[in-house]
Amino acid sequence: MTDIFKMALDRKEIVADMDGFYKYWPEGWGCLNAEDLRILADGLDKMNADWQKQLDEYFEGKKND
């Protein structure tokens, strides 16, 4: 885990939203560069991978009904 992502987790800025996906939800502590944003996006993708897989499998099954 990279430092920027761990910092966001420690600050409780990675939160589960109503749709079940984890999202980065900062409280206005400054700016981030593109590299840091990519790191956060990659971390969120990893956290959301299982939920996304479940949704994909569910809707794939519905498509065949």
Dump pLDDT digits (tens) for 24-37: 998 876 778 899 99
- Rounded to an integer, what distance in angstroms lies between the CA atom of residue 63 and that of residue 36? 38
Residue type, 32: L
Among residues 46, 1, 57, which one has the least CA distance to residue 21?
A: 46
Helix axes of 3-10 and 34-63: crossing angle, nearest 10 degrees: 70
The pLDDT, as a whole number, for residue 14 is 94
- Chain segment 39-55, per-residue pLDDT in tens: 999 999 999 999 999 99
Average pLDDT, the chain: 91
Number of domains in the chain: 1
- H or E, element range at 5: helix 3-10
- Rounded to an integer, what distance in angstroms lies between the CA atom of residue 65 and that of residue 46? 30
The pLDDT, as a whole number, for residue 1 is 64
Domain containing residue 17 = 3-63
